[in-house]
Structure 1
């Protein structure tokens, strides 16, 4: 039975947002009703970059509000899309007259509410563009809403945020974000499911000799389970289909993100990165940039995701550009 640091489960998101804003007063400011987070020092004269989604994935998205990344983040309830009213209000709050770019993970509720917000903004004379992040290779099927959006959202937000700081217009940012998303794929593996606030049991049970291969960040079950084993056996199973999906070969360059899903230590994540880099190097693929840590979680799920992003000179320059947010700074 799991124990959690929770008062009332119904208040967990509001209380966490209040604590987050109090912990980072130099970076962010919280608007409580409707709920959204904006930069403590608003930008001017640039396209605003806004993202959001259900809570439970922290530090995504509120942790990436700041110079060089997001102007606003809109949190919903746990694993639940923010409302169109929230999204509209956040977008209006950060619009400088040059339009708003919405970076949206490809989940039905998120897509619907961000599109409605875009229509509301258009009625009020605010131009907006949308980038759908759909990197999850485990849901690459012809039926349903398409690939889910997962950890590639961090890369899209960082690259588009940097381009916005440099003065790119809305059309340029939209095209850039879509290009980065199209060149990104992710696979996630779980060793144990997470538990919702106030619940003592995880969302699914997993035998000790198996892993959930292709799990979703909302705790969605994978289409298959595979045998548990050491990293040197599991990681190549993640790398190979990603490389194939992106058409990687000798001479290809990638940005690699090894991301913890909530309850995985950095010690393990760096070991996973070591294995992924080794497999890619043997295939002639150059890992030119990397990000290793906990950035897109699924509550307290034990597991990790591996994201590969095709990296050209423009993407690398924007990735390297300065950024200052609670969760990402260089």
Structure 2
């Protein structure tokens, strides 16, 4: 298999505001074409990290290499050239209300003195992609939230960037509009191969969009890896973020959680288990989470102590991931 090209490499990054260290020894690698999720509680350092990536914030030590270039070596002109390859969209849209849709999208092109005929070609292409051809002459203030975010996405894409940074891009939107915006971002990633970094506090966004993720906690990068693997392993940082599974656990017997990444195996799990062991157990809880590249089935079972070894031997033989859940 061909090795993926590293679009962004962050090593030993430290960032302080006066005496407060907000990013502490951050190490993250993001491949070209990835949709990468940064998740954590408010104040974890997610948005600050985004601003360090696009050069809007300086940092005290460490390095950020983008497309093979260490951004700490760049001076003003070179740094502006770098930012041309990085688009950004925000929770608050950041449009100019008095300008039209077309004029808002044109702002980066005007700043970079792109010729008018090329501006027109780029903007009309993007208006079609984001589904706003009929709104091109409408003022930004008259648009819905979802339409405003589509304009913001078009503006972020108009310089043909290699990287798109999304800072809570769907947090202010209703569920239906969120789905539409996420689908648009997936389309852009597929058609343009653009690398997308998504800062979010919405776990559903990570599930649906991202192939890889990092969890930030108090300025530290606690966990990084493939999304499904992180949820399969259930590290402490993830439990701190989403909470430990809450269900009424029986006072007797042993409670076991099973995690299954193969959808077909998950669907047949209980029938296969019953046919193979012919031993009683109680199903306490079950869930099915859809990811961008598959599903994760989770089952909480209560098993009698005398049958436990037989069940665990079956789980091992089937190469299933499981763990014991202690009563709170």
The two structures share one fold, judged by TM-score above 0.5: no
Whose radius of gyration is greater, 1 or 2? Answer: 2
Superposition TM-score tier, normalisation by shorter sequence = under 0.3
